[in-house]
Amino acid sequence: MTSFGGFDMPVEYCGIIDEHIAVRTAAGLFDVSHMGEIEIRGREALTLVQYITSNDVGRLAVGQAQYSALLRPDGTFVDDLVVHKISDIHYLLCVNAANREKDFEWIRSHNRFDATVENTSDTYTQLALQGPRAAAILRQLTPLDLTALRTYRFAFDKVCGVHSLIARTGYTGEDGFELYFDPAESEKIWDALLEAGKAHGLLPAGLGARKTLRLEACYALYGHEIDETTTVWEAKLDWICKPDKGDFVGREALRAQKQKGIERILVGFEMRDRGIARDGYPVLQGGAECGHVTSGSYAPWLKKNIGFAYVPLRASAPGTRLYVRIRASELAAEVVPTPFYKRPK
Amino acid sequence: MYPDEYRYTREHEWIKLESQRATVGITHYAQEQLGDIVFVELPKVGAHFAAMEAFGTVESVKAVSEIYCPVSGTIEEVNASLSDNPALLNQDPHGKAWLIKIRVDDPAELASLMTAEQYEAFIRSSEQAES
């Protein structure tokens, strides 16, 4: 068990590699109750959510979810999050565990609208059922027509008789679902999903596999690829930033940075020499340090040593040779196109 | 679980002495704590290490761990099969997945290491301290 944002959570159950492979080939079940939930309600709920997030919430239909970010006035990240539009006057924000309190205070401090902000993190258990067999497993426990629930859509229905928010979202690069429901029902639903998944090869999966899966699929992790020193342009998250939607916190700084041009950018790399680049290791080009690794690991599905790093623009093109300082050695790596992994259609 | 003829360190290495030569590896407990091992870095033959000096690295998916030479000595052989099959360390840490063979400077140094019984008590107490 490891302590993460105040939660005791298993890093692994039967082993990170087996859990990772299960998610790519069958399914994995993650307890992600550490994630925070913040709910915004009221006549001007949309106005508040638009003002504090970078993506365009105005384009969401009821029952649709959207990846987005909370930004500081200088354009750097307070957090990344998923916005769920429950109704025209009710939004649910799923935020990172370690940032729950910070985000809540941040949103409240920017609320000059006719809206209420509530930290409802303790009223939800969140389970993530991920993998190509996820739908076949969940179908046994819910009356909801899952074939009609498209990616980044959600609906309310029963799971094992328990009222739940069922979202077709995830953090693994596979098809899958994230379920939000009353914590009192946690064990019942966890056990029922494991039982329903037995015949499909479902394994319980921990934080370790969650990290390696998201790395292969190229999802940013707060505190690594994004934090209070990086911006959407640098993190290649342009697609969640819509400066034309209207005013939002961070917009002017981001417009200015776009005009001026960025100096560094996030790239994916593969090790060419034998060695595993880890978080924080220095990245070199031409003998000089030019950046650092934000996340690095052995990738269990790709069977390669991969990572992300911030590097100067001149060193960011795929094919560029970089070196990573690993203990006493400088080992060769190469910038590669991302994502490292994309699931087969 | 832990062979009686081996001696053990607090850093979870084992050493087996046969006259002046010794074989060194990591313990079952070490591989279990590390989880899936995916990379092993070993020294060059001929290198000399002092007692409890780091001589290599073992990496699992989740962690990087240095490995220490239980007694001072000179590397005579390294287990080359581990570079292509690091997972062997999870399967047979006390046998086929030995790491290095050394010529020991002074066999008397082994006296300061733990016996199997002491090592088992040591890991029980560190597990209790954790929980």
Q: What confidence tens digit (pLDDT) does each residue in A282-323 have?
A: 999 999 999 999 999 999 999 999 999 999 999 999 999 999
Residue pointed to by tokens 């739908």:
A135
User: Does A203 reach chain B within 8 Å, measured CB to CB?
Assistant: no
Worst-scoring range by mean pLDDT, A2-6, A229-233, B26-30, B106-110? A2-6
User: Does A344 fall in a domain?
Assistant: no
Q: How far apart are CA A120 and CA A127, in angstroms?
A: 16
Which pLDDT value is given to residue A6? Answer: 65
Chain B, 33-92: which have a CB under 8 Å from a chain A CB?
35-36, 38-39, 41, 57, 59-62, 64, 83
Nearest CA distance, A267 vs chain B (angstrom): 21
Task: Give the distance from CA A31 to its chain's centroid.
Answer: 15
Average pLDDT of chain B is: 96
A292 domain-assigned: yes
Q: What total of structural domains would you count in chain A? A: 2
Which residue of chain A comes nearest to B87, CA vs CA? A17
| A207 and A225 inside one domain | no
pTM of the model: 0.94
Q: Is the pLDDT of residue A2 over 80?
A: no
Instruction: Identify the pLDDT of residue A60.
Output: 98
Residue A89 sits at the chain B interface (C-beta within 8 Å):
no
A172-194: pLDDT as tens digits: 999 999 999 999 999 999 999 99
* CB neighbours of residue A263 within 10 Å: 11
Domain range for A233 is 217-336
Cβ contact A11–B38 (<8 Å): no
Q: Which of A214, A237, A255 lies at the terminal end of a domain, its last residue?
A: A214
Query: Are A16 and B62 a contacting pair at CB < 8 A?
Result: yes
Nearest CA in chain A to B35: A15
Task: Please tell me whether residues A43 and A182 are part of one structural domain.
Answer: yes
Report the chain B residue with the minimal C-alpha distance to residue A20: B61
pLDDT per residue as tens digits for the range A32-65: 999 999 999 999 999 999 999 999 999 999 999 9
pLDDT attached to residue A146:
98
Q: Please report whether residue B1 resides in a domain.
A: no
Helix, strand, coil percentages (3-state) for chain B, rounded to 5, are 25, 35, 40
ipTM summary value: 0.89
Least confidently predicted of A2-16, A218-232, B24-38, B88-102:
A2-16
Does position A1 have pLDDT exceeding 70, yes or no?
Answer: no
Q: Please answer yes or no on whether A276 and B59 come within 8 Å at the CB atom.
A: yes
Of the three residues A164, A190, A214, the one that is the final residue of a domain is A214
d(CA B101, CA B124): 28
pLDDT in the model for residue B126: 85
For the stretch A76-134, pLDDT in tens is 999 999 999 999 999 999 999 999 999 999 999 999 999 999 999 999 999 999 999 99
Burial degree of A201 (CB within 10 A; 0-12, 13-18, 19+):
middle
Residues spanned by the domain of B72: 7-130
pLDDT(B96) > 90: yes
**pLDDT above 70 for A5:** no
Q: Is residue A300 part of a domain?
A: yes
In-domain check, residue A341: no
CB pairs under 8 A between A and B: 36
Residue type, A164: S
Range list of β-strands (E), chain A = 2-4, 7-9, 27-31, 36-41, 65-71, 77-87, 90-95, 116-119, 125-130, 154-159, 162-167, 176-181, 202-205, 264-271, 282-285, 288-299, 304-312, 321-326, 329-336
Q: What is the CATH number of the domain that holds A56?
A: 3.30.1360.120
B53-72: pLDDT as tens digits: 999 999 999 999 999 999 99
User: What does the pLDDT look like over A216-270, one tens digit per residue?
Assistant: 999 999 999 999 999 999 999 999 999 999 999 999 999 999 999 999 999 999 9
CATH code, domain with A252: 2.40.30.110
A343 occurs within a structural domain: no
- Checking if the pLDDT of B34 tops 70, the result is yes
Select from B35, B64, B83 the Cβ nearest to the Cβ of A15: B35
Interface membership of A16 toward B (CB under 8 Å): yes
Last residue of a domain, one of A192, A214, A236: A214
Position A3 pLDDT exceeds 90: no
Please tell me whether the peptide bond between A132 and the residue prior to it is cis, using omega within 30 degrees of 0.
no
- Which residues of chain A does B64 touch, with a Cβ-Cβ cutoff of 8 Å? 276, 278
Give residue B129's pLDDT: 79
Q: Is the pLDDT of residue B25 over 60?
A: yes
Q: Do B35 and A298 touch (CB under 8 A)?
A: no
Shared-domain flag, residues A284 and A306:
yes
Burial of A127 (0-12, 13-18, 19+ CB in 10 A): buried
